[in-house]
């Protein structure tokens, strides 16, 4: 059975979605860069080992990433899963876990990388928004895409309502992506593309606003 280590910084809602999905893998540990992260208590309640590597204890990103990697490697995971981990990782760290480091982002990448994705989408008047699970690369929020969920932006949406609806979809697609990884359904090929084994792509179109 494959194993994963989950990295969090806050309440851990995506982490909880992964735990509740009963995935065909072992969660070896949950690690946070903040001792007060709410998700640590959730992990402990599920009997999962936890660790804290406070980023503020390190002089620079390189030394923090080195300490984080040493802790991750003690659990010998097959994959490292970022679930609301609010740190930009160095190129050396990303290279160390190439093809094994996965993230979820609240936009339809490559649109709206970085922060404040929902506010930016509303400001630009986009009609379709969503979320993306992707392999992490040294180019922030631009690694190979595994799965996306798209939803319409409603006329009455605020940043808060849009964020809540996108988060709901995050909780669906992240477990699916990790399930695919842990069962060997996908792989990252040499050109850096995600390849699916034996799956068929459904075809439909989402219109927003709807056609009349």
Any idea which residues carry the catalytic annotation? 105
Residue with tokens 């989402």: 206
Strand pairing category for 145-152 and 128-135: antiparallel
Question: Would you tell me how many other CB atoms lie within 10 Å of the CB of residue 67?
Answer: 15
Q: How far apart are the C-alpha atoms of 99 and 83, rounded to whole Å?
A: 17
Rg of the chain over all Cα atoms, to the nearest angstrom: 17
Q: How far apart are the C-alpha atoms of 137 and 87, rounded to whole Å?
A: 14
DSSP assignment of 41-100, as one string?
A: HHHHHTT--EEE--GGGSSSHHHHHHHHHHHHHHT--SEEEESS---PPPHHHHHHTTTT
């Amino acid at each position: 059975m494959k194993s994963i280590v989950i990295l969090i910084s806050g309440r851990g809602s995506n982490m909880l979605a992964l735990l509740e999905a009963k995935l065909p893998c072992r969660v070896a540990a949950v690690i946070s860069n903040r001792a007060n992260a709410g998700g640590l208590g959730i992990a402990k309640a599920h009997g999962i080992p936890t660790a804290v590597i406070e980023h503020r204890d390190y002089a620079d990103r390189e030394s923090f990433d080195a300490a984080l990697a040493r802790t991750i490697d003690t659990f010998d995971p097959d994959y490292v899963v970022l679930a609301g981990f609010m740190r930009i990782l160095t190129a050396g760290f990303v290279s160390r876990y190439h093809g094994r480091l996965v993230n979820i982002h609240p936009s339809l990448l490559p649109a709206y990388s970085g922060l404040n994705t929902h506010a930016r989408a509303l400001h630009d008047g986009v009609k379709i928004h969503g979320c993306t699970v992707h392999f992490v690369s040294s180019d922030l929020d631009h690694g190979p895409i595994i799965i996306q969920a798209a939803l319409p932006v409603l006329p009455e949406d605020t940043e808060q309502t849009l964020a809540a609806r996108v988060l709901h979809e995050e909780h669906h697609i992240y477990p699916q992506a990790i399930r695919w990884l842990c069962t060997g359904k996908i792989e990252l090929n040499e050109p850096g593309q995600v390849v699916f084994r034996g799956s068929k792509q459904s075809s439909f179109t989402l219109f927003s606003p709807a056609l009349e």
